[in-house]
Structure 1
Amino acid sequence: MPTAAAHRYRARFDRVLRHIERNLDGDLSAEALSGVAAFSKHHFHRQFAALFGLGVHRYVQLVRFKRASQRLAFRDDPILTIALDSGYDGPEAFSRAFKNRFGQSPSAFRAQPDWAAWHAVYRPLSVTRRFSMPDTPPPIAIVSVPDIPVAVLEHRGDPALIGESVRRFIAWRKAMGLPPRLHATYNILHNDPEQTPPEDYRLDLCVATDHAVELNEAGIRAGRIPGGRCVTLRHIGSDDGLRVALLRLYHDWLPDSGEELRDFPPYLQRVRFFPDVPEHEAVTDIFLPLAG
């Protein structure tokens, strides 16, 4: 078990990770970040690399490029705006750096992202963030949820390709006039990507609507999230921490609760979206359906 000193040491680095998320447009030099952690600037970059397996400069680059790539793939922001927001003087320098990182220019990525390359680039970032400790563990509550009629796009297959399903889902929603501010967004988690062969993986992308769903080329159908009692936990931040938050319900809460689970998968409600908000401000409500 980690000692209290080890927890305090790790907490100082978690403070750095949160600072980076909250100040993507600010000074994120190793010298500035060493001050956030209250470590010597002469040792900080080595301490960071020893703990996380990648250097602090690369970590900052990955976080900034992740925001840029999400905006390219899922939003209509001009490439010039994305380049300037990423700290570049213009689109040419941004394009060179982006292509060097992903093997595609920003315009090529926007047209047809290479998701396999994208996930390979961000794997170190995901591993680093997965076990970041929240400032305060969020509260757990039991709530009653009504039936929710939804339109469903079923993603089956490699979880690394979910981004392509999300693009198709967003395009259909826009065509149907179902914006997130008026129609809630849900994900139904049929299985765990870390415990499931890629070809058997399934996740449902859902939008709340009681409108009839006509036959469509996107493959979207009508569905329903059944109402009933659920235990819920709010996760704030990157999706990289979602699995740990979900395991908190299964591992820490459920055994002592005296509750039984209902025969329906866990699901998420996407309350605030990255990249519309900074990644550390994304809000996701986790629901575990309960019997009774």
Structure 2
Amino acid sequence: MNTLDSMNAAIEYIEEHLDKKINYQHAAQIACFSEHHFKRMFSFLAGIPLSEYVRRRRLTLAALELQENNMKVIDIALKYGYQSPDSFSRAFQELHHTLPSTVKQTGVSLKAYPPISFQISIKGDVEMKYRFVEKDAFHIVGHKEVMYPEDGDFNPTLWNTLTDADYAKLGTLEREDPNLSGILNITVNTCHGPEQSEEALEYYIAVVTNQTAPDHLAALEIPKQQWAVFDAEGEMPHALTSTWSRIYTDWFPTSGYELAEAPEIVKSIHDMKTEIWIPVQKSKFAFIF
């Protein structure tokens, strides 16, 4: 089994539970990812958020049942996770451009979204620059934000609230590191503090240091880890987001590696180059191409 196979197995689980409560954490475990990484991977591969895929699939099945059966609209609504006929009707009309009560009429046009399946696609010979780095444990100190992203959306408030003075103060704490110098953007896909929950993650703007964190800052110990380091070159943020997308859609499915349980790090080199540090480990599954 490879990355795409495990993603397809997770989609199969979701398909089997479209008329039930979907346990997204369990789906992520099937895919061998954290829930956050699973939703990000899905969004990169499918081009739409996972929640939108589930919404389209449920409303596709609902339309078929309304056409073929004599079930009441309220029963169909409850079956596919809507709390009232009104909320179901609004969602149904938004997708199909018609009301649920009209589907049996002759000539009514409906939309159908079939189940998704991920396959390897040959897109052309476009290089990706990366290297492997084995790094001992290190200590970071910086500003921390607890986030609850939906379907891989990522927009920390720290980006807009930190000042030049805040960054300058961080710089005074930094110790020299040959690989990870300067201000780092670090995402931890679990939450260690009192806000800990399955949906939460931690985001840091931080530096590598040997110093103890001042009262207004947070500290984190990052264990020894192997990293795949990718170069994102070009106009930012487009080069960064497109490289990140290719890591998930092109590199992981064919690399024989999988995500490890460690933070992801973004390091800016200059205005036109950024490094993306991805924690990796050899895949638990034999890769089959």
Question: Shorter chain as normaliser: what TM range?
Answer: 0.3 to 0.5
Q: Larger relative CO (CA 8 A, sep 6+): 1 or 2? A: 2
Larger radius of gyration: 2
